[in-house]
């Protein structure tokens, strides 16, 4: 998905006003009637309609006239709202090149005023689902006004909360910086996804570290659920950083054992195939489970017995039960949707120079946008962005 931040520089205060009005209208309309956008935006002399045409030209909104004259935000429009909010907050000042295309996200470099480079993850739930995963479509068919933007916001919110909690508990994860709508800002990880690494100096040590992380996570009450070579970054010193948390679940999830075993299995398989690691030192020693080759693997049940309560802390941190349930429905539907790295769609990589977004500073009065302020969020329902989002 292209993110032409240049367009951002030419958007006026009125453009953002109307874009925000469309977002607000989407709280209870899949397609927001143009008259409602006009009423929320409150521009004089039919100004809203002219602005809508401009937004449409820039692909920030989608026009739909099947039932009535209406609009909805596109992901690009949602990107712009999030980016503008974060820039206004002083979190970063420019957007640089794209550094990753995930299954359901785009990752860009962004730079702060003082030149520090951070990573920006824009969640794009539904990107693959609409095209590929039938079960997910079936699931969605039974839902009224399902909202991918809302789910992407939930994914970002969850990722931010988990990244922060894991970092606070000493796990090697990126530093969680901020979050707004479907966008998470975190520290830039040096190194490469493990999948790109052909050779390791100490494959045994790296293997042990990674398995140890899965076990330690579970001992804290959590399972990553997508713990594989695509979501493990490794640097030149073979230091590991784990990324990608929206699908994490508690060890008390009903499929926890399966998720745990699958994470372990992925690592075994990968190290076996890539680094020929059938290490004897993994032979049965401690009474834990053995696989067909007689290798002892960390056992979920013994780990679970010792499990701490980070999962409960997180549940109490503002990521509400209801949101957790919404996310888990999505995860369950995605049970076989294991991370396969970059999607094989026709998405183009947008590689551009850093663009200063100084013109974004014009409108500072967006203090009440939905964001990841964990303390003050609504519980949210599909079709809703945030209760704290001031209405017309
Ligand atoms: P997805 O959920 O779509 O799989 P990921 O969080 O796994 O997204 O990110 C996709 C890719 O983007 C990663 O494989 C990695 O190459 C890159 N990436 C993500 N986060 C960072 C980061 N903080 N620093 C550097 N690269 C990152
Ligand atoms: Mg990933």
Compute, in angstroms, the gap from residue 380 CA to the centroid of ligand 2.
Answer: 25
Question: In this predicted structure, what is the pLDDT of residue 270?
Answer: 96
358 is catalytic: no
Beta strand segments in the chain, E: 32-33, 61-64, 70-73, 94-101, 105-111, 117-123, 176-180, 183-187, 192-193, 222-223, 232-234, 240-242, 249-250, 355-356
Nearest CA to ligand 1 atom 23: 188
Question: In this predicted structure, what is the pLDDT of residue 367?
Answer: 40
Question: What is the average pLDDT value for the chain, to the nearest integer?
Answer: 79
Nearest CA to ligand 1 atom 1: 102
Nearest CA to ligand 1 atom 25: 189
Q: Find the ligand nearest to 155 CA.
A: 1
30-39, 123-132, 156-165, range with the lowest pLDDT: 123-132
Question: In this predicted structure, what is the pLDDT of residue 334?
Answer: 53
Q: Find the ligand nearest to 243 CA.
A: 1
Q: Ligand 1 site: residues with CB under 6 angstroms?
A: 99-100, 102-105, 107, 119, 121, 174, 186, 188-189, 193, 230-231, 243-244, 339
- Which among 118, 186, 191, 243 is the best mutation to test ligand 1's pocket, defined by most ligand atoms within 8 Å of the CB? 243
Domain map (residue ranges) of the chain? 1-73, 192-327
Q: Which residue has the higher pLDDT, 235 or 336?
A: 235
pLDDT tens readout for residues 139-171: 444 444 457 888 899 899 999 999 999 999 999
pLDDT bin (cut points 50, 70, 90) of residue 245 is: very high
Q: Is the dihedral of CA 342, 343, 348, 352 positive or negative?
A: negative
- Which ligand 1 atom lies nearest to the CA of residue 230? 14
Nearest CA to ligand 1 atom 26: 189
Q: pTM for this one?
A: 0.80
Mean pLDDT confidence for 100-124 = 94
Nearest CA to ligand 1 atom 8: 102
Catalytic position from the list 38, 106, 226, 244: 226
Compute, in angstroms, the gap from residue 379 CA to the centroid of ligand 1.
Answer: 27
Q: Which fold has domain 192-327?
A: Transferase(Phosphotransferase); domain 1 (1.10.510)
Q: Find the ligand nearest to 188 CA.
A: 1
Contact, 193 vs 99, CB < 8 A?
no
Compute, in angstroms, the gap from residue 92 CA to the centroid of ligand 2.
Answer: 23
Compute, in angstroms, the gap from residue 245 CA to the centroid of ligand 2.
Answer: 8
Listed residue (280, 296, 279, 277) closest to 288, CA to CA: 296
The whole-angstrom separation of Cα 52 and Cα 71 is: 9
9-23, 35-49, 272-286, range with the lowest pLDDT: 272-286
Query: How far is the CA of 59 from the CAs of 50, 76, 215, 274, in angstroms?
Result: 14, 7, 45, 43
pLDDT tens readout for residues 280-339: 544 444 445 555 555 578 888 888 877 778 877 777 565 666 777 776 666 565 544 444
* Local structure of 367: helix, strand or coil: coil
Query: How far is the CA of 69 from the CAs of 26, 153, 164, in angstroms?
Result: 14, 26, 43
5-14, 40-49, 204-213, 321-330, range with the lowest pLDDT: 321-330
Residues 6+ apart with CB under 8 A from 371: 85, 179, 180, 181, 386
Supply angle C-alpha 388, 325, 183, rounded to 5: 50
Compute, in angstroms, the gap from residue 274 CA to the centroid of ligand 2.
Answer: 19
Burial tier of 378 (Cβ tally within 10 Å: 0-12, 13-18, 19+): middle
- Of all residues in the chain, what percent carry a pLDDT higher than 70? 71
* pLDDT score of 356 more than 70: no
Domains 1-73 and 192-327 share a fold: no
- Which ligand 1 atom lies nearest to the CA of residue 102? 3
Listed residue (83, 72, 120, 82) closest to 100, CA to CA: 120
Q: Which residue has the higher pLDDT, 294 or 122?
A: 122
The whole-angstrom separation of Cα 215 and Cα 174 is: 19
Beta strand segments in 124-231, E: 176-180, 183-187, 192-193, 222-223
Q: Which residue has the higher pLDDT, 359 or 144?
A: 144
Per CATH, is 1-73 categorized as 1.10.10.10? Answer: yes
């Amino acid at each position: 998905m292209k993110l032409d931040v240049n367009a951002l520089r030419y958007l006026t205060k009125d453009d953002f006003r109307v874009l925000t009005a469309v977002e607000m209208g989407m709280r209870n309309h899949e397609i927001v009637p143009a008259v409602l956008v006009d009423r929320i935006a409150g521009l004089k002399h039919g100004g809203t309609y002219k602005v809508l045409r401009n937004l449409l030209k820039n692909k920030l909104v989608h026009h739909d006239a099947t039932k009535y004259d209406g609009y909805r935000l596109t992901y690009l429009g949602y990107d712009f709202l999030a980016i503008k909010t974060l820039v206004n907050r002083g979190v970063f000042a420019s957007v640089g090149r794209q550094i990753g295309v995930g299954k359901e996200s785009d990752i860009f470099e962004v730079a702060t005023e003082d030149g520090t480079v951070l990573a920006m993850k824009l969640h794009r739930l539904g990107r693959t689902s609409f095209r590929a995963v039938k079960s997910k479509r079936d699931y969605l068919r039974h839902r009224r006004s399902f909202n991918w933007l809302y789910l992407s916001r939930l994914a970002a919110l969850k990722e931010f909360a988990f990244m922060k909690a894991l970092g606070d508990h000493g796990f090697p994860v990126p530093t969680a910086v901020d979050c707004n709508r479907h966008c998470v800002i975190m520290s830039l990880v040096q190194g490469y996804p493990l999948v790109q690494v052909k050779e390791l100096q100490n494959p045994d040590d790296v293997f042990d570290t990674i398995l140890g992380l899965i076990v330690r996570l579970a001992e804290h009450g959590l399972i990553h659920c997508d713990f594989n070579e695509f979501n493990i970054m490794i640097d030149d010193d073979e230091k590991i950083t784990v990324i990608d948390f929206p699908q994490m679940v508690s060890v008390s999830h009903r499929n926890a054992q399966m998720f745990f075993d699958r994470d372990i299995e992925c690592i075994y398989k990968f190290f076996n195939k890539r680094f020929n690691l059938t290490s004897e030192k993994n032979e049965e020693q401690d009474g834990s489970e053995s696989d067909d080759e007689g290798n002892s693997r960390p056992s979920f049940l013994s780990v679970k017995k010792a499990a701490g309560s980070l999962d409960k802390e997180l549940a109490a941190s503002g990521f509400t039960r209801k949101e957790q349930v919404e996310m888990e429905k999505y995860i369950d539907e995605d049970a076989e949707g294991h991370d396969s790295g970059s999607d094989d769609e026709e998405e183009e990589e947008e590689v551009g120079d850093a663009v200063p977004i100084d013109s974004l500073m014009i409108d500072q009065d967006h203090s009440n946008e939905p964001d990841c302020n964990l303390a003050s969020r609504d519980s949210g329902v599909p079709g809703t962005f945030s209760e704290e989002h001031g209405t017309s």
